[in-house]
Structure 1
């Protein structure tokens, strides 16, 4: 995260003096009251040297021109900081770099509970403290790693994951539960007070790093692969797996989807056959599109058995497991894999819960997974709305700001309205989760969360489409002004497919509603 320069005060220079330096080899410009000597830089400028010698550029104030082409963070890079030679006499900089931990002042950039002059019944001082410290941590520690890994495709830095483990962040991402009681947690949150709104806050703050592939790579497999162990695993299994995964010493993923069975869980073909002595399962089959599969030490795997369906947590050390990288629309940093199980001999102790109850275990895991995805995609849509407002307010076309065009304002209005509505539905569901047992959530919220996920990814679709139209060519260009728009437009579809497609979840929501239709209600 770029921060405001802390260099020595700049000497004051008059605008008349700046205007004298307007030719090749002696070239100054002004951006936001700061004077830059670009005499040598001009020939290195990626956009070409000639642009600096325009009479409206050389020796002139280029604030409006610069911000019509570049992001503010460019000025904060060391290479450009070294070009600063002074400031305009009697003037101060108007544009400030974001301060880690602080909320944005852009309208609708933050959920309403974080916006000055608005209120919410859901969030306490504990939630607000966590939000502030989590944002500062993400900005200062995670963003740089995220953007680097998103670009080079390498797995998230293990030392970062382990650091998050020591801070209690990994454990907190698993949601409320006894695993947090008595544990030292990030921002001095008490494990006993941690609720789903704390988890919502953490999830939504992590999304702000604008790196969808890295977001899944950063323990996405743990968030969906560890709950079956925590909720249904034997004490022996819990002891072996939970703490090492939370500490970042071991990695786990959820292996359900197959080439023949995506949202159709009942169609899985991977088999697990009990050996004659009853001590091992022999697992054969394949899994596809498995997040974190490339670097997982454990695979929480859905299989078919003689008893029906089961879940087995298969250690990579068992042998007979091959993982191949799948290149998707987002970065390979997520470690998305095609997995082959070839006569893998797994000790029976790795059975999760009971043989024959695999479907119940799998389905019970979906609610939380889908809710987490709702938290993410809704917050990402809001971040794009902020980018649209900023760009439209500073970009000029036909001599006027984009905001002067009613059609642009309409597109932004539609996106903001949908993002606000989605956040409110999400918070309503989250409140219900804080009042319900795990079993009650499965019974009463499965339909609500399914519909919310189906609709929220439709919101992402509209936001992505409108944002590209507002940004134009920059919206489909990696890097530069529209880099976050390009990333969002390229990756938002993951949430529309993972954890159940929009169509399957919409149908689930209606079928759940039909289960509760009163017999005495007629038109």
Structure 2
């Protein structure tokens, strides 16, 4: 992996960085990519394996990224320009915040994944990617005034807390309750949240809770204080991959939360969570595709040098066959991701959620399948070296790609159900128009 210049090894870079024409990338995008690669390398990528082995990314890294506005790219595009300018934030490595689009987002997520490990970058970005956006999109003016100045500048940290021991992808069955006090001024929150990325470092959680009856209609979203708050206990969970991500178990015992901390209205929870998932799934797909690149290009480079049976591995047809199949999956995946990023840059948020929600779910699921294929091929071709802990680092991250943001099988089903809904709505319009 080269520090700043494009890597010439096949499959190691997106086509636009290999000098091939690209309809989506402008000179401004290329300028940002170079600046982003330099910043990410100096402050994260070159240390990623060391920190992953240690289990934690040093706290100063989060503050370094915040000072440079380099966690804001995790947020959905367009960025909350008015808020950012109020806070004195005008650009991200030279890109004006008002010019930011999803292609910039894709470049950023791709560059942040160049270590091949999702944990180090994941230790930094969960709040900006998943915890803050619901407050920006659905929060009242008063709620935003209280929380956004500290969250957008990194003075305070947030996470998203949806998953529970018994309810993950099945969001409608969340059991954590939020019951109003007799005076109607507070909610009393009870329950547990599990597998919460960055939870252990977070001051607040944008949390899914049950304020009403059973099912989706009873869900709401609250901003719940975490660190040192009465009734909240947290502990890190040991996981096989994404070790530095700060995966956390949260217990909530009569936690008192102001009613004014509600995001949107009571009963809006399912809608807020589902639209937030679209962005989450997209940036996961981008990062996962880069991880697949790192795995496959490392295997390709190894096969050019490693000798067996009097030849290099690359001289063996079976090896070339494995690389070709995985490479085809990888480049197809990247082309699809680029297409979705471009489409979102030219659609309203509402239209993007409606038209591309199902396809984004499918892309996220497919990206994890591609990562699994590329990581498995790499481990096999590395032979004994692939069986070491270091050799299997990316492979251990595969479950972290296939499960979070909606597990693979759930997303495959969801994507088709969403496409059926779009079809049925279009068919209904055609029938109505034919009667006029």
Is 1:327–2:238 an aligned residue pair?
Answer: yes
Does the 8 Å contact 2:76/2:133 carry over to 1? no
Is 1:167–2:68 an aligned residue pair?
Answer: yes
CA separation of 1:184 and 1:101: change in aligned 2, threshold 3 A: farther
- The corresponding residue for 1:179 is 80
Deviations 1:151-198 (A, max 9, x none): 1112x3222212211211112221323524643323210111110000
What secondary structure sits across from 2:360 in the alignment?
helix
- The corresponding residue for 1:487 is 393
- The corresponding residue for 1:310 is 220
Does the 8 Å contact 2:304/2:313 carry over to 1? yes
CA distance in 2, matches of 1:385, 1:331: 19
Deviations 1:21-71 (A, max 9, x none): xxxxxxxxxxxxxxxxxxxxxxxxxxxxxxxxxxxxxxxxxxxxxxxxxxx
- The corresponding residue for 1:141 is 43
- The corresponding residue for 1:496 is 402
CA distance in 2, matches of 1:243, 1:468: 45
More helix by share: 2
* Cα displacement (A) at 1:330: 2.0
Deviations 1:240-282 (A, max 9, x none): 3223223222111111001111100001000000111110000
CA separation of 1:421 and 1:331: change in aligned 2, threshold 3 A: closer
- The corresponding residue for 2:434 is none
Is 1:446–2:376 an aligned residue pair?
Answer: no
Of 94, 108, 111, 1:205 maps to 111
CA distance in 1, matches of 2:127, 2:101: 21
* Cα displacement (A) at 1:331: 4.8
CA distance in 2, matches of 1:323, 1:421: 41
Does the 8 Å contact 1:217/1:335 carry over to 2? yes
Report 1:11-410 matches (<5 A). 98=2, 100-116=3-19, 118-154=20-56, 156-180=57-81, 182=85, 183-306=89-212, 308-316=218-226, 317-410=228-321
What secondary structure sits across from 1:169 in the alignment?
coil
CA distance in 2, matches of 1:187, 1:315: 32
What secondary structure sits across from 2:99 in the alignment?
coil
User: Superposition RMSD on alpha carbons, in Å?
Assistant: 1.7
Does the 8 Å contact 1:168/1:184 carry over to 2? no
Q: Which runs of 5+ in 1 are unaligned?
A: 1-96
CA distance in 2, matches of 1:178, 1:202: 14
* Cα displacement (A) at 1:130: 0.9
- The corresponding residue for 1:59 is none
Q: Which runs of 5+ in 2 are unaligned?
A: 432-436
- Bigger drift between 208-217 and 364-373 goes to 208-217
CA distance in 1, matches of 2:364, 2:212: 34
TM-score, structure 2 normalization: 0.92
Greater gyration radius: 1
CA distance in 2, matches of 1:268, 1:213: 26
CA separation of 1:461 and 1:210: change in aligned 2, threshold 3 A: closer
CA distance in 2, matches of 1:216, 1:385: 21
Which aligned runs of 4 or more in structure 1 are off by greater than 3 angstroms?
A: 517-521
Does the 8 Å contact 1:129/1:187 carry over to 2? no
* Cα displacement (A) at 1:462: 1.2
CA distance in 2, matches of 1:147, 1:333: 10
CA distance in 2, matches of 1:428, 1:281: 43
CA distance in 2, matches of 1:146, 1:249: 24
CA distance in 2, matches of 1:495, 1:139: 23
Is 1:412–2:323 an aligned residue pair?
Answer: yes
Does the 8 Å contact 2:178/2:187 carry over to 1? yes
CA distance in 2, matches of 1:135, 1:177: 22
- The corresponding residue for 2:419 is 513
Does the 8 Å contact 1:162/1:247 carry over to 2? no
Higher normalized contact order (CA 8 Å, seq sep 6+, divided by chain length): 2
CA distance in 1, matches of 2:16, 2:191: 48
